Amino acid sequence: MIMFLMRRLCQAVLVMFIISVIGFAIQGGLGDPVQQRLGPAATEAEATTLRHSLGLDDPLWVQYLAFANDALHLDFGHSYFFHEPALGVIARYLPATLELVAASAVLTLLLSVPMGVFCAIRPRNWLSQTLMGLSVIGISVPVFLTAMVLIQIFSIGIQVTLFPADSGWGHWLNQLFSIEGGMPAYGRGNPIHVVGVWYTNFASLQGLLYLLLPALSLALVMLPLFVRLIHAEMLEVLETDYVKYARARGLRPSRIYFLHALKSTLLPVVTLGGVQIGTLVAYTLLTETVFQWPGAGLMFLDAIERADMPLVVAYLVVVGLLFVVINTLVDLLYRMLNPRVTLSGRAA
Amino acid sequence: MSLEIRSSATVWRRFRDSHFLYRLRRNRRAQVCLALFVLIMASVLLTPWIAPSDPYDLAQISLLDSELPPFWIAGSEPAHLLGTDAQGRDLLSSILYGARVSVAIGFGAVLLQSVLGTALGLLAGYRGGIVDALLMRLADIQLSFSTLMMAIIIGAVVKAAFGGAFYGDYSVVILILIIGLSEWPQYARTVRASVLAEKRKDYVDAARVLGFPSCRIMWRHILPNTLSPIFVLSTVQVANAIMAEAALSFLGLGMPETEPSLGSLIKSGFDYLQSGSWWITLLPGLFLVTLVLIINLLGDWLRDTMNPRLHKG
């Protein structure tokens, strides 16, 4: 246990070191700050003085140490665009992202568990066949396309004119297949203030409406992976002796499936959830772009467009830290759920 | 001369009697996928000759034709089968040219990552020790960030460091580098695993006793025996690379709109979704999904064919 934590700590330090070097490199790579401050008319002597006072004639490693020291004190400098500390900007944008991720995680869980279990216990059913077929297609659909299709269907609406509109039944069929649309698909609406920088979408019906389409598209993209995994694991578990024994004892099928079998199915789901956290962040970036959801991902992309270096660096550090923490937590959780795994080896 | 003819005949016979062709004959889905794949690849290769018009050629574009719908909707024109975009460019031609860019980047990135990953995987597996530990730690870290996030981070850093203009000029090369560099761990892990299994075998010991240098043993003896998993992985990786490129382009970290890939076509069409011209963005999207799906299905089938013991759940 201690060994595992030590190993993880080393890895975390290594990751953060690499990220900080990258951050340092891009922060330094942007133009010449001396010329920017003094303008073209400055004399050589003035430039030298300023360069010295800014510490720019120090060796690179001294400059890096200064940068790392600031970073350790949570000081990434001021954002060029917002004119306030970079971390503060990120803290302001983070709740929106976290709410989006939380909502889609809940949706994914609520949808994938029943689907996966159903597909495993009724493999010949037409619904399971359809679901498994859709999951194959779903893996090949990029998240921004899912989001756009959802926008087209539920926000813009579909006007069907396939049937002849002059006859009564044609008009009726057109009406039947047309979809009104009208769901909000842009931004967050007016989230309600909770505390500090946290404004929530969960507290009002209107907020939930704004949240629905982005969360749904994120969930629909994660769904195929989880359905397939739960399905595969469930098939395996149903063949084990303890499930057969439970059947022989005459327990109710629902109890066997959802209590006995599902419990051991959830183990790999937790691992997959941990492994997928990076993918989830990337998908969240894409979803936020489509829906203009004012979260940390959208802020990061805007910062790149504006070459707002302190913000870019701060975001990279925050995301890196998030990954390291979540990966460690998932490994610990895995151990708690499955006592057979020892963490001292390469169990992770 | 006669030797060459005979050898090509033998190759043909070996192909005709192979397990591969036997499995292909018995699998309808694989046949359909392969046919579609060949069709798409052929049309992508021959795009300049078969496309109805050249979307880059300003002389062939008329603004009067802008936002025409595809052929099954009233108001379409037969000259533009799949309609036109907001600048009046023929959508079918744009999709073909865009797919050309996407496929080129996909194959280029897979070539880079397979060469890089295979070399590092061979090295890690054969040498072991500190080299192995270091490389695999790096691979672990990169994989824990997920390859797509890795690509976005590298893309963002490159764009932030060199500026948008530079990025736009060399975007094909940059994208190949980004996707190649972010996905090498997949290959390195696969190759390392098979090298670890191979290097215990007698033929490697024999080669070592004969005094061959390690490079030669790795290259001539071990590598040929690890090729089949590499080949299987490559199919799926091409699909992944095309998806990654589309995602990067959609985020504005990919191909510029002057030389669009499928991803940038989707991105530029997105602005017109609200005005009712859904085809500008959803048709390239449909093409992208079809392409990726076909490659993924082929990859699945190839994995089952090459390794019958491995069976998916």
What's residue B7's pLDDT?
A: 67
Which of A113-122, A246-255, A275-284, B10-19 is the least confident region? B10-19
pLDDT digits (tens, 9 = 90+) for B249-279: 998 888 888 888 899 889 888 888 887 788 8
Residues with Cβ within 8 Å of B162's Cβ and at least 6 positions away in sequence, in order, are none
pLDDT digits (tens, 9 = 90+) for A161-220: 767 777 777 777 777 777 777 778 788 877 888 777 788 888 788 888 888 899 999 999
| Residue A277 near chain B (CB below 8 Å) | yes
Residues A194 and A329 in one domain: yes
What's residue B176's pLDDT?
A: 93
Considering the domain boundaries, does residue A249 fall inside one?
A: yes
What's residue A39's pLDDT?
A: 64
For residue B4, pLDDT beyond 80? no
Of B154, B157, B156, B120, whose CA–CA distance to B138 is shortest?
A: B120
Please answer yes or no on whether A323 and B145 come within 8 Å at the CB atom: yes
Mean pLDDT across chain A, nearest whole number? Answer: 81
Contact yes or no for A312/A324 (Cβ under 8 A): no
Residues A18 and A158 in one domain: no
Which phi-psi region, left, alpha or beta, contains residue B134 (left: φ > 0; alpha: ψ -120 to 50)?
A: alpha
Q: Which residues is A192 bridged to in the sheet? A: A200
A160-163 — which CB contacts under 8 Å span 24+ positions? A161/B74
CA A152 to chain B, closest CA, distance in angstroms equals 7
Residues A257 and A172 in one domain: yes
| Residue A161 near chain B (CB below 8 Å) | yes
Take residue B205 and report the two structure tokens written for it: 């010991």
| Residue A27 near chain B (CB below 8 Å) | no
CA distance B268 to B66: 14
What's residue A103's pLDDT?
A: 92
pLDDT digits (tens, 9 = 90+) for B101-114: 999 999 999 999 99
pLDDT digits (tens, 9 = 90+) for B47-74: 888 888 787 777 777 777 777 778 777 7
Closest B-chain CA to A134: B293
| Residue B308 near chain A (CB below 8 Å) | no
Please answer yes or no on whether A14 and B146 come within 8 Å at the CB atom: no
| Residue B178 near chain A (CB below 8 Å) | no
Of A25, A140, A235, the CB nearest to B313: A235
| Residue A174 near chain B (CB below 8 Å) | no
In angstroms, the Cα distances linking A53 to A67, A289, A319 are 15, 41, 32
Please answer yes or no on whether A289 and B251 come within 8 Å at the CB atom: yes
What's residue A267's pLDDT?
A: 78
Residues A109 and A208 in one domain: yes
Considering the domain boundaries, does residue A80 fall inside one?
A: no
Take residue A176 and report the two structure tokens written for it: 């039947």
Residues A102 and A164 in one domain: yes
Contact yes or no for A296/A156 (Cβ under 8 A): no
Please answer yes or no on whether B251 and A301 come within 8 Å at the CB atom: yes
Q: Which chain A residues are Cβ-neighbours of B296 within 8 angstroms?
A: 136, 139-140
For residue B182, pLDDT beyond 50? yes
| Residue B97 near chain A (CB below 8 Å) | no
In angstroms, the Cα distances linking A162 to A153, A155, A159, B66 are 17, 21, 9, 23
Residues with Cβ within 8 Å of A142's Cβ and at least 6 positions away in sequence, in order, are A221, A286, B243, B246, B247, B250, B285, B288, B289
Please answer yes or no on whether B145 and A278 come within 8 Å at the CB atom: yes
Which of A15-24, A211-220, B7-16, B102-111 is the least confident region? B7-16
Provide the pLDDT confidence category of residue B311 given band limits of 50, 70 and 90.
very low
CA distance B102 to B289: 12
CA B164 to chain A, closest CA, distance in angstroms equals 8
Of B163, B278, B297, the CB nearest to A152: B278
Q: Which domain holds residue A33?
A: 2-72
Please answer yes or no on whether B251 and A235 come within 8 Å at the CB atom: no
CA distance B262 to B285: 7
Q: Which chain A residues are Cβ-neighbours of B143 within 8 angstroms?
A: 275
| Residue A269 near chain B (CB below 8 Å) | no
| Residue A21 near chain B (CB below 8 Å) | no
The residue with greater pLDDT, A289 or A39, is A289
Most trustworthy range by pLDDT among A237-251, A316-330, B51-65, B83-97:
A237-251
Cα B70–B71–B74 angle (5° rounding)?
A: 90
pLDDT digits (tens, 9 = 90+) for A60-104: 777 788 777 777 777 777 777 888 888 888 988 988 999 999 999
Which of A169-183, A296-310, B168-182 is the least confident region? A169-183
CA A282 to chain B, closest CA, distance in angstroms equals 5
Q: Tally the residues of chain B.
A: 313
Domain boundary, last residue among A72, A98, A124: A72
| Residue B233 near chain A (CB below 8 Å) | no
Closest B-chain CA to A31: B161
Closest B-chain CA to A236: B313
Domain boundary, last residue among A44, A72, A100: A72
| B-interface mutation test, from A140, A155, A221, most B Cβ less than 10 A away | A140
DSSP per position, B182-201: HHHHHHHHHHHHHHHHHTTS
Of A29, A228, A282, the CB nearest to B161: A29
Return the CATH number at A312.
Answer: 1.10.3720.10
Residues A207 and A233 in one domain: yes
What's residue A30's pLDDT?
A: 54
CA distance A112 to B1: 62
| Residue A279 near chain B (CB below 8 Å) | yes
Residues A141 and A21 in one domain: no
| Residue B30 near chain A (CB below 8 Å) | no
What's residue A348's pLDDT?
A: 37
Considering the domain boundaries, does residue A85 fall inside one?
A: no
Closest B-chain CA to A234: B313
For residue A345, pLDDT beyond 50? no
Of B140, B250, B296, the CB nearest to A139: B296
Considering the domain boundaries, does residue A133 fall inside one?
A: yes
Q: Which chain A residues are Cβ-neighbours of B239 within 8 angstroms?
A: 140
Q: Side chain identity at B104, as an amino acid letter?
A: A
Average pLDDT over residues B77-87: 78
Count H helices and E strands in chain B, helices first: 14, 0
CA B212 to chain A, closest CA, distance in angstroms equals 33
CA distance A299 to B160: 14
Most trustworthy range by pLDDT among A186-200, A225-239, B6-20, B295-309:
A225-239
What's residue A169's pLDDT?
A: 76
User: What is the count of structural domains for chain A?
Assistant: 2
CA distance B182 to B148: 8
Domain boundary, last residue among A25, A41, A72: A72
Considering the domain boundaries, does residue A345 fall inside one?
A: no
Of B253, B26, B7, whose CA–CA distance to B152 is shortest?
A: B253
Residues A109 and A154 in one domain: yes
Residues A167 and A260 in one domain: yes
SS3 state at A160: coil
Residues A291 and A142 in one domain: yes
Q: Which chain A residues are Cβ-neighbours of B153 within 8 angstroms?
A: 316
Most trustworthy range by pLDDT among A3-7, B124-128, B244-248:
B244-248
| Residue A144 near chain B (CB below 8 Å) | yes
Closest B-chain CA to A273: B144
Residues A203 and A310 in one domain: yes
Considering the domain boundaries, does residue A236 fall inside one?
A: yes
Q: DSSP state, B259?
A: S
Considering the domain boundaries, does residue A342 fall inside one?
A: no
Please give the interface size between A and B, counted as residue pairs whose CB atoms are below 8 Å apart: 118
Take residue A205 and report the two structure tokens written for it: 């019906």
| Residue A67 near chain B (CB below 8 Å) | no
Q: What global pTM score does this model have?
A: 0.84
Radius of gyration, alpha carbons of chain A = 26
Beta-carbon-side half-sphere exposure of residue A338 (alpha carbons within 13 Å): 18
Provide the pLDDT confidence category of residue B167 given band limits of 50, 70 and 90.
confident
Considering the domain boundaries, does residue A150 fall inside one?
A: yes
Residues A60 and A108 in one domain: no
Exposure string of B222-240, with b = 16+ CB inside 10 Å and e = fewer, is bbeebeebbebbbbbbbbb
Mean pLDDT across chain B, nearest whole number? Answer: 84
Q: Which chain A residues are Cβ-neighbours of B247 within 8 angstroms?
A: 142-144, 282, 286
CA A194 to chain B, closest CA, distance in angstroms equals 31
